[in-house]
Structure 1
Amino acid sequence: MWGVLQKRPLHRIIVDERERPSGVPDELRSLGAFIEFRVLDVADYVVGSYAVERKSVRDFVSSLYSGRLFDQAHRMGEAYGTSMLVVEGDLWEELRRVRNSRSLWGALISSVLDFGLNMFFTPDGKQTAQFLFTLGKGGRHTKGSGGPPIVVRKPRSQDLKRLQLSVLSSLPGIGPQMAGQLLGYFGSLRKVFSASMTEIAVGAGLGRSRALAVTKLLDSRYKASRTVIPQASLSQE
Structure 2
Amino acid sequence: MNKPPIEIVYDDRERAEILIKQLSKQTDLRLVRKRLNLGDYQINEWLIERKTLSDFVISLCDGRLFSQVSRLSKSPNNTALLIEGSSRDIAAYGITREAVMGALCSIAINFNMPILRSLSQAESAKILYFCATQLNSWETGVISNGRKPKRHKNRQLFILQSLPQVGPKLAKRLLIHFESIEAVFTAPEEELLKVEGIGQEKARGIRGILTSTNKRGHNQPD
| Fold shared, TM-score > 0.5 on shorter chain | yes
**84, 87, 92: which one aligns with 1:88:** 84
Q: Secondary structure at the match of 1:23?
A: helix
Q: Distance in 1 between matches of 2:147 and 2:30?
A: 20
Which amino acid letter does the alignment assign opposite residue 26 of structure 2?
L
Contact 1:16 1:45 in 2 (8 A): yes
**21, 24, 35: which one aligns with 1:39:** 35
Residues 126-153 of structure 1 deviation map (CA, whole Å, 9 limit, x = unaligned): 111111111111269x9514656xxxx9
| Structure 1 residue aligned with 2:45 | 49
Q: Which runs of 5+ in 1 are unaligned?
A: 1-5, 160-237
1:93 Cα offset (Å)? 1.9
Q: Secondary structure at the match of 1:60?
A: helix
1:65 Cα offset (Å)? 2.1
| Structure 1 residue aligned with 2:8 | 13
Which amino acid letter does the alignment assign opposite residue 22 of structure 1?
E
Q: Distance in 2 between matches of 1:42 and 1:13?
A: 14
Q: How does 1:64-213 map to 2 (within 5 A)?
A: 64-90=60-86, 92-101=87-96, 102-138=98-134, 144-145=145-146, 158=196
Residues 194-221 of structure 1 deviation map (CA, whole Å, 9 limit, x = unaligned): xxxxxxxxxxxxxxxxxxxxxxxxxxxx
Q: Distance in 2 between matches of 1:146 and 1:46?
A: 26
Contact 1:14 1:38 in 2 (8 A): yes
Q: Distance in 2 between matches of 1:62 and 1:115?
A: 20
Which 4+ runs in 1 deviate beyond 6 A?
Answer: none
CA gap of 1:111–1:67, structure 2 versus 1, over 3 A, is farther
Contact 1:65 1:107 in 2 (8 A): no
Contact 2:48 2:81 in 1 (8 A): yes
Contact 1:64 1:108 in 2 (8 A): no
After TM superposition, the structure 1 stretch with the greater mean CA deviation from structure 2, 96-105 or 118-127, is 96-105
Larger Rg: 2
Q: Distance in 1 between matches of 2:147 and 2:122?
A: 24
Residues 83-116 of structure 1 deviation map (CA, whole Å, 9 limit, x = unaligned): 11111111x2245434341333322221221122
Alignment of 1:30 onto 2:25: yes
Alignment length (residue pairs)? 148
How does the TM-score come out when normalised to structure 1? 0.54
Q: Which runs of 5+ in 2 are unaligned?
A: 138-142, 150-168, 174-194, 198-222
Q: Distance in 1 between matches of 2:5 and 2:91?
A: 41
Q: Distance in 1 between matches of 2:146 and 2:62?
A: 41
**Greater RCO between the two (CA within 8 Å, min separation 6)?**
1
Which amino acid letter does the alignment assign opposite residue 119 of structure 1?
I
After TM superposition, the structure 1 stretch with the greater mean CA deviation from structure 2, 45-54 or 73-82, is 73-82
Which amino acid letter does the alignment assign opposite residue 144 of structure 1?
N
Contact 2:134 2:144 in 1 (8 A): no
Q: Distance in 2 between matches of 1:70 and 1:84?
A: 14
Which amino acid letter does the alignment assign opposite residue 74 of structure 1?
S
Alignment of 1:58 onto 2:54: yes
Contact 2:53 2:90 in 1 (8 A): no
How does the TM-score come out when normalised to structure 2? 0.57
CA gap of 1:62–1:34, structure 2 versus 1, over 3 A, is same
Q: Distance in 2 between matches of 1:138 and 1:72?
A: 27
